[in-house]
Amino acid sequence: MIPSNSKAVTSDKYAQINRNQINLDERPDKQEEACGVFGIYAPEQDVAKLTYFGLYALQHRGQESAGIATFKGKQVHLYKDMGLVSQVFNETILDELPGNIGVGHTRYSTTGSSHVANAQPAVVQTRLGEIALAHNGNLVNTKQLRSELLEKSCNLTTTTDSEMIALAIAEELNDGSQLFEGAIRAFHRCQGAFSLVIGSSEGVMGVRDPNGIRPLVIGTLEGSPTRYVLASETCALDIIGAKYLRDVEPGELVWITEDGLESFQWSQKQERKLCIFEMFYFARPDSIMNEESLYSYRMRLGRRLAKESLVDADIVFGVPDSGIPAAIGFSKVADIPYVEGLIKNRYVGRTFIQPTQAMRESGIRMKLNPLKDVLSGKRVIIIDDSIVRGTTSRKLVKSLREAGATEVHMRISSPPVTHPCFYGIDTDSQDQLIAATKSVEEIAKHLEVDSLAYLSWEGMLEETKQDTNSFCSACFTGDYPVPVPERLKRSKLMLEEAIV
């Protein structure tokens, strides 16, 4: 949504592309990423470029679109487009985004199709001026909220829940509320997962839902006075030289202005339920959670996996990149050499050019290629972080055997994924999740591996070294911390009656 008095540039070069048109077998066999958000208040610095580099570090969280909004006084400057951060922005575009406040977003769509109109930040006009909102997460009451907004004649121009949050804030402000009061009233109307960065002409707001399902951290930039940064992960702070201060807490609102940082607890019903997928897959291994790098946690998962499901083999390797730390940990406990068995083409991003049928039949070697001289004649253990549908894993096993592996044993550093997510991860319906329809033995047969074992649910949580009740693990248990409306549940929980 581009307000009439905002300076903004967008293009629509990928507007006709819809990821739902892609054949299921060609979609990545993983839980799809969440989104990345970034916010900064730094009058002395080039906030557009700092926001760009922050988003660049968060690229792994979403590769469909990217956008930056900056505030210079009352004027908003906005640019967003489809594609990777490095494809969307260049020096010329960034020079056209002046200001002392920046809000950025990199997106993988969970609510709303892959279309430039749904790219963020969402910018809306209010009685107190424009606001720019970037959202990571997913609401579960979008139908109800949409109906409420339409009844008030709000102009919805996209299909995203993120725009609905922004419009709900605008509605409260236009009814006479001040910024804080109106924003908090709007947050109480939202159910589900939301980590938000909201920019205005006065400052930047960072907000987490009462369960803190999606991450949001605070960093500081050296100087006098100290300036503050908000980001989905600490890796976005590192890239711009900011220092990690702390997390935004569940149910907390932080307000960053010329006067510094203020904190408010907007919800009195907070209960920490950080998504466990952030811990072992989504977030970058160099990001800090629970006062340690996620690389360390993922190493422990591999160690635990080896203790739970050791098998005799010649070599161990991980599926790049997320399976590598666990593979190294597995190797140390198993006393089996760790090698690189697969080479990843790191320059293959999400492409809108579909491969030919012959290329599809050849498997997944556009992204992963086995090292034949390493694998030939060897009994191998391959470590991955998860299996969703099993399509990619099956092709991968086939390629390892073609490379000469005599035995292929697969180990997964998380439990079987049996339930879809409703809080910001784009998952298939339950009948498409292979572990919801097959036993471990049946999955092993389908993948054509010599053996298959998953990490236990208890092991995954215990290795966090945190309160095991402080994580959302609904993908493995079906225990959803935020109630999901029955209509929305039925759209994905295809097998719930059979399971019960």
CATH number at residue 421: 3.40.50.2020
The answer as to whether 487 is a domain residue is no
The binding site for [4Fe-4S] cluster consists of 275, 421, 472, 475
The answer as to whether 76 is a domain residue is yes
Distance CA 106, CA 348 (A): 18
Same domain, yes or no, for 414 and 335?
yes
Q: Which residues are CB-contacts of 116 (< 8 A; sequence separation ≥ 6)?
A: 10, 11, 12, 14, 15, 65, 80, 81, 82
Same domain, yes or no, for 257 and 360?
no
The answer as to whether 120 is a domain residue is yes
Distance CA 22, CA 499 (A): 29
Give, for all 500 residues of the chain, the pLDDT tens digit: 344 344 444 433 333 334 333 344 444 555 555 799 999 999 999 999 999 999 999 999 998 999 999 999 999 999 999 999 999 999 999 999 999 999 999 987 555 455 677 899 999 999 999 999 999 999 999 999 999 999 988 888 887 899 999 999 999 999 999 999 999 999 999 999 999 999 999 999 999 999 999 999 999 999 889 999 999 999 999 999 999 999 999 999 999 999 999 999 999 999 999 999 999 999 999 999 999 999 999 999 999 999 999 999 999 999 998 899 999 999 999 999 999 999 988 776 555 555 676 666 555 677 889 999 999 999 999 999 999 999 889 999 999 999 999 999 999 999 999 999 999 887 768 988 999 999 999 999 999 999 999 999 999 999 999 999 999 999 999 999 999 998 888 777 755 543 32
Tens digits of residue pLDDT in 58-100: 999 998 999 999 999 999 999 999 999 999 999 999 999 999 9
Same domain, yes or no, for 326 and 185?
no
Distance CA 164, CA 186 (A): 10
What is the extent of the structural domain holding 223? 36-273
* H/E element, 494: none
Same domain, yes or no, for 219 and 334?
no
Same domain, yes or no, for 62 and 152?
yes
Q: Which residues are CB-contacts of 100 (< 8 A; sequence separation ≥ 6)?
A: 41, 42, 43, 47, 71, 72
Question: Is position 35 annotated as part of the catalytic site?
Answer: yes
Domain end marker among 273, 306, 335 = 273
The answer as to whether 82 is a domain residue is yes
The binding site for Mg(2+) consists of 322, 384-385
Number of separate domains in the chain: 2
CATH code (residue 259): 3.60.20.10
Write down the catalytic residue from 35, 154, 190, 235. 35
| pLDDT reported for residue 155 | 82
Q: What is the DSSP annotation of 436-449? A: HHS-HHHHHHHHT-
Same domain, yes or no, for 203 and 61?
yes
Q: Characterize the bridge pairing of strands 292-293 and 288-289.
A: antiparallel
The binding site consists of 275, 322, 384-385, 421, 472, 475
Same domain, yes or no, for 368 and 233?
no
Asked whether 85 and 59 are in contact (CB, 8 A), the reply is yes
Same domain, yes or no, for 334 and 233?
no
The answer as to whether 68 is a domain residue is yes
Same domain, yes or no, for 160 and 254?
yes
Same domain, yes or no, for 50 and 161?
yes
Same domain, yes or no, for 269 and 318?
no
